[in-house]
Structure 1
Amino acid sequence: MRQLRWSLRRRVATLCVVVGVVLGLLAAGAAVVATENRQHLDTLLTKTGPLRTDGQALLSSLVDQQTGVRGYAVTGAEADLAPYRTGVEREAALIASMEALLDDQPEIRQQLHTVRDQARQWREVVAQPAIQATMSTGTEAAQAHLTAQGSGRFTTLRGEVETLQGLILDLRNAVADNARRTGNTLVLLLILAAIVVVLAGMALLTSLNRLVIGPVTTLAAQVREVARGDYQRDIERVGPPELARLAGDVDAMRRRIAEDLSEVRQARERIEWVNSQLEKQAEELVRSNRDLEQFAYVASHDLQEPLRKVASFCQLLQRRYAGKLDERADQYIAFAVDGAQRMQRLINDLLAFSRIGRLTTGFTEVDLNRVMTDVAGQTEATRRYVGGELTWSDLPVIRGEETLLTNLLANLVGNSLKFRRPDVPPKVHVSARRVGDEWEISCQDNGIGIEPEFADKIFVIFQRLHAKDAYPGTGIGLAIVKKIVEYHGGRVWVDPEVPEGTLIQFTLPVPPELRELEQPSGAATPGEQDGASEGSAPADDPVAERSGGSSGESARPASEMKETV
């Protein structure tokens, strides 16, 4: 097919412009004709109709005047003269009304003036003298006067009124004819517009069929042959320039596919082998995860059974001896009840944590300040025992799982309290700063610190840097921290450059809806959870160790005052 010089867009645009111009001209003509038709209808309804009605009423008023004068001339009774007077008043009102409608009809207006003058002359020559004669000489003289003067003049007046009515009727017929003519013209213009639209649609349909549908069908047939595997078939460039360029692009793609096909075939066997290996590994991983989940489930239930007994008996003691012992005994019982209940929740959380990456409760908005308040409550007993203090700056709101984030921060704070220097009360500070699209959370303490060569090993599960008798624990705490951080899309590391203590930092993504807001300018007023109150320490230290440990601790669930540092 010969390549067309005009593009499809240019052809469609030209057709639309031509049709638009023709329809615009027809619309302008229709607007003019419609305006003229509306004027004719307005004249027909608001002028000729009232004029015909007023003309009939005018003749009726003149007849009433003649009847009143004749009746008065016969009887001489004043009451018989009332139609005459009423007719005179009505005549004046009708002539004024008709004259207001005849500004653009001088011929009819002139005839109206003739009727008015003839009526005035009839009254001056016939009616008024007859009335005077009846009043002065009696009815016989008045009747004689009417017989001599009235008949001919009133006949002439009636003829003038009929002439006026004839002129009004001619005007009405002419206006009606013009209204019909303009209405027919308007209908004709609408028919022409419809014809133009139909012809334009047919032309557009024909053009689309010849310039688009046909070439696209041909191109599609060639593409289907290539899709069936005939990659050596050249694709012919057909249709307007747009489709010709499309055909050229498809042919170039066909050539690239043909060139890459041999490499794809060579790689297919290798990919199939890799896929088989991956499937085997996936099956092994599923089986391993299933075994691990079963182990965690059984272990958690075995642990909960004795813990449930402890919690039940502690609650029984609390109910039975509440108020019978001293205040401190009630407080210790409350510690035991709350600690047992928290341990039960922690075991359930650890069971759920073992399924991280496969089962999740879904991310929600989590305020880390509230999380730190919970962590402070969990570590209160330990801080009282070691005389330590915990502070934190205003922390952000992030998206995550609150239970896991609580475990994360409790592990970090517990580690800082555990790995303290024996002669210095421990101090732990948690802060945050915005770095791009991430929050960088820091946990700083004044403890024994970590040697730079061990900075990466502490996050390995069951990796310990100290003997068990020096710092008890299982060595899983910081591995849990790392997994929680990575599950939330962040990363964790140890800063080896701090001059004193340990600085562990991790990142959490900023929620997408807050990424456009201005970054915080600096740290806010920190809150301090005072843990240096009096009281006996628990028998053993339940906090997490530097390279491991659980975040669950015995602590009373009392609200604590947050002080400004």
Structure 2
Amino acid sequence: MSAGLRAWSLRRRVVALLAIVGVLLVGLAVAEASLAERSRNQVDALLNQTGPLRVQSQELLNALLDQETAVRGFAVSGDRADLGPYEAGVRQEQDVIASMRRLLNDYPQIGGDLRQVETRADEWRRAVAVPVITVTEQEGTAAGQALVTQVARQQFDEVRAAVDDLQAEIFDARESNAREARRSGNLLAVLLIVAALVVVVTGVLLLLSLDRTVVRPLTELAQHVRRVAEGDFQHAIPGSGPPEFVQLADDVDAMRRRIAADLAEVREARQRIEWVNSQLQKQAEELTRSNRDLEQFAYVASHDLQEPLRKVASFCQLLQRRYAGQLDERADQYIAFAVDGAQRMQRLINDLLAFSRIGRLTVGFSEVDLNKVMGEVAGQTEAARQYADAELTWSELPVIQGEEPLLTNLLANLVSNSIKFRRSDVPSKVHVSARQVGDEWEISCQDNGIGIEPEFADKIFVIFQRLHSKDAYPGTGIGLAIVKKIVEYHGGRVWVDTDVSEGAAIRFTLPALPEDRAAAGESPDEEATGAQATETPDGVPDGSPERERERERAERTEEAPEGGRTGGMRETVG
């Protein structure tokens, strides 16, 4: 291989070879197309001209024979009905001749023979057929038979001979077309064989060229790379073959040098990672032990701690009832403090146990009708509402996937919280409603109470976080923390809407059922609803700290089963 050709890139070599082959194949394709067109024309002539002409010439002969037979039969019988084949034969002869003339544009010799047949047939009818018919009708069958002589038969034989000449000419034209079609087909086959040979030779040349310029250099490069991959990072990688492979070998060798330079850092990083993994393993084991300790603590809190605490509370209450007024005022006050502390301690332990059981003791998700849940909540909070003269109402609520006891606890905490933080100057009103926003149901619990300041909107969901003293508003400060944990366990999020005109509005989301999502997708108001949800889906402006915290909480929340079907109930409980 010359130095100039060796300097060609692999692409240039392949393009040059393919260009040569392409020119050859294009030339062969043009010749084949010309032969194919010629063969098609010949086959068309064979099928659409000479073939039909041959059949029609036989039909023409049959029509003439019918005429001759009918004339002789009429001369014998004298029955006019025997002339029916003669008249039909005349019509068929005219039709066949007209049809044949439409096919004779390329065959003038056959056209001349057809005219000869037509002339002979007309002469026979004038000289024989018409006189026989006329004489038979006027003078009888004997006179008619007398005209059917040997001369009359010879005249019809001339007609038949003219038809034979016509058929012979048509046969010769048909054979000529067939020979030309076979010749064109043979030439086309030869050209196809030549094209196949060109393709085969090109393939062999391309295979040999690829083996020499691609496979061998790549095999050598792979051997050198394999040595480096086995750990010999100091082995140089030379290049050979086309310029692209030489450049590839240089790039791989540069990568080898970088890998060798970075190997020490990689080993050091691996050692650090192994140390970190060991620390993580220790922390995981410590977390496992801590979880076991927490479970043990929950058991102790629910059994062992409750028993002495009940004794303390019981005996303090006995002291309060038996010795009330018998000791001085300070002693009565101390005993009251002890009773209140023991009772608060019991409430704290019970609330803490309820908080720890959320998501740990599960009965599985099922379809829950929130309208039914609100009926249970109304029963649970009836005493508190009667005491506070509070009114509880709710709109039509959906059906969602969840745990009914937890959802009952969720709504009961929200309603109780709204009743607790009421205003003294107006009757308390609590309303629960729902609306679908995208793939979620947004449920709101709104009241006309004292409200929540915006700066405390996030603090109220922290466990044991209180914004007021226990003397002003009783409670352990864990209710809204339980609400938040239940909502997140169901795959939703909860927040305080600070844009309401009065009172407080706590909103949370729950995933909608698939049928509700489909219905929302087919709703004509979907576009308007989606625009509203994009602008202010929960009353919190985009870009605000509250919005960012909600997004972080939503990303950390595991996806819960989807669901939500609107219930068909609306009830007011006063």
Percent sequence identity over matched residues? Answer: 49
Distance 2:500 2:133 in 1: 134
- Deviation, 1:386, is 1.5
Please say if 1:560 is aligned against 2:563.
no
Give the corresponding residue for 2:101: 102
The Cα shift of 1:68 comes to: 5.5
- Say if 1:106 and 1:225 are closer, same or farther in 2 by CA, change over 3 A: same
8 Å Cα contact 2:71-2:132 kept in structure 1: no
Aligned partner of 2:420 among 418, 443, 464: 418
Letter of the structure 1 residue corresponding to residue 571 of structure 2: E
**Alignment check: 8 A CA contact 2:63 2:92 kept:** no
CA RMSD across the alignment = 6.1
Return the match for 1:164 from 141, 158, 166: 166
| Equivalent residue, structure 2, for 1:283 | 285
Aligned to 2:44: 39
Deviation at 1:170, TM superposition (A): 1.5
Provide closer, same or farther for how the CA distance between residues 350 and 130 of structure 1 changes in structure 2, counting only shifts above 3 A.
Answer: same
- State whether residues 215 and 243 of structure 1, in contact with CA within 8 Å, keep that contact through their aligned partners in structure 2: yes
Alignment match, 2:78: 78
Matches within 5 A, 1:314-329: none
Specify which of 246, 269, 272 is matched with residue 270 of structure 1: 272
* Deviation per residue, 1:368-409 (Å, 9 max, x gap): 899777756654442332223457899999998776565445
Change (3 A) 1:369 1:518: farther
Aligned to 1:90: 89
Q: 2:532 aligns with which of 519, 535, 544?
A: 519
1:457 is displaced (CA, Å) by 6.9
Query: Partner of 1:553 in structure 2?
Result: none
Moved more, 509-518 or 402-411: 509-518
**Separation (CA, whole Å) in 1 of partners of 2:363 and 2:459:** 28
1:337 aligned residue: none
SS in 1 for 2:531: coil
Given that 1:51 and 1:168 are in contact with CA atoms closer than 8 Å, whether structure 2 keeps it comes out as no
- Give the Cα–Cα distance (whole angstroms) in 1 for the partners of residues 505 and 141 of structure 2: 139
C-alpha separation between the residues in 1 aligned to 2:24 and 2:405?
70
Q: Determine the structure 1 residue equivalent to 2:113.
A: 111
**Letter of the 2:268 counterpart:** Q
SS of the residue 2:101 aligns to: coil
Deviation at residue 45 of structure 1 after TM alignment: 6.9
1:9-64 CA-partner distances (Å, limit 9, x unpaired): 98499669769856864774475246314413423675233134235425634763
The 3 A distance-change label for structure 1 pair 272 and 168 is: closer
What is the SS of the residue equivalent to 1:230?
coil
Normalised by the length of structure 2, the TM-score is 0.59
Paired with 1:522 and 1:391, the residues of 2 have a C-alpha distance of 25
Residue number in structure 2 paired with 1:335: none
One-letter amino acid matched to 2:390: G
Query: Could you tell me which residue of structure 2 aligns to residue 342 of structure 1?
Result: none
Distance, in Å, in 2 between the alignment partners of 1:245 and 1:83 is: 101
Deviations 1:300-352 (A, max 9, x none): 899xxxxxxxxxxxxxxxxxxxxxxxxxxxxxxxxxxxxxxxxxxx9998675
Cα pair 1:102 1:108 within 8 Å, conserved:
no
Query: C-alpha separation between the residues in 2 aligned to 1:349 and 1:26?
Result: 91
Mapped to 2, the partners of 1:8 and 1:484 lie a distance apart of: 69
Q: 2:9 aligns with which of 5, 15, 20?
A: 5
Q: Tell me the distance in 2 between the aligned counterparts of 1:523 and 1:386.
A: 33
> Bigger CA drift: 478-487 or 274-283?
478-487
Q: CA deviation at 1:153?
A: 4.6
CA drift at 1:353: 1.6
Q: How does 1:175-214 map to 2 (within 5 A)?
A: 175-188=177-190, 191=193
The 5 Å alignment of 1:409-488 reads 409-420=411-422, 425-426=427-428, 446-447=449-450, 461-462=463-464, 473-484=475-486
**Cα distance 1:33–1:208, how it changes in 2: closer, same or farther (>3 A)?**
farther
Query: Are the equivalent residues in 1 in contact too, given 2:391–2:573 (CA < 8 A)?
Result: no
Task: Return the match for 2:59 from 54, 69, 78.
Answer: 54
How far apart, in 2, do the equivalents of 1:213 and 1:28 lie?
38
Greater RCO (Cα-Cα under 8 Å, separation 6 or more): 1
Give the letter for the 1:446 counterpart: G
Structure 2 Cα separation of the partners of residues 496 and 27 of structure 1 = 84
Aligned residues: 477
> How big is each residue's C-alpha offset from its partner over 1:236-290, in whole Å with a ceiling of 9 and x where there is no partner?
5667777777666655554444343322222333322222222122123223334
In 1, the alpha carbon distance for the partners of 2:17 and 2:370 equals: 61
- Report the CA distance between 1:97 and its aligned residue: 0.4
Distance of aligned partners of 1:50 and 1:497 in 2 relative to their CA distance in 1, 3 Å threshold: closer
Query: Which range moves more in the overlay, 250-259 or 423-432?
Result: 423-432
Would the aligned equivalents of 1:386 and 1:426 in 2 still touch at CA under 8 Å? yes
Q: What amino acid is aligned across from residue 174 of structure 1 in structure 2?
A: S
Residue 319 of structure 1 corresponds to none
SS at match of 1:231: coil
Return the letter of the residue paired with 1:266: E
- 1:158-180 CA-to-partner distances (Å, cap 9, x unmatched) read 44333223222222222332343
Once the two structures are TM-superposed, the CA of residue 7 in structure 1 deviates from its matched residue by 3.6
Superposition TM-score, scaled by structure 1 size: 0.60
CA distance in 2 between counterparts of 1:28 and 1:300 reads 96
Structure 1 pair 86–390 and aligned structure 2 pair: CA distance change class (3 A): closer
2: CA distance, partners of 1:150 / 1:455:
127
Letter in 2 for 1:60: L
**SS across alignment from 2:532:** coil
Q: Is the 8 A contact 2:358 2:485 kept in 1?
A: no
Give the letter for the 1:78 counterpart: G
Distance 2:375 2:111 in 1: 101
Deviations 1:394-436 (A, max 9, x none): 9999998776565445434433433556666555677999999
**1:535 matched residue in structure 2:** none
Give, in whole Å, the separation in 1 of the partners of 2:496 and 2:84. 121
C-alpha contact (below 8 Å) 2:377/2:408 kept by paired residues: yes
State the match for 1:316 in structure 2: none
Within a 5 Å distance, the mapping from 1:196-345 to structure 2 comes to: 217-235=219-237, 253-290=255-292, 292-293=294-295
1:271 aligned counterpart, secondary structure = helix
SS of 1:561's equivalent?
A: strand
Unaligned runs of 5+ in 2: 305-350, 539-568
- Preserved contact between residue 426 and residue 445 of structure 1 (Cα < 8 Å): yes
* Corresponding residue SS for 1:383: helix
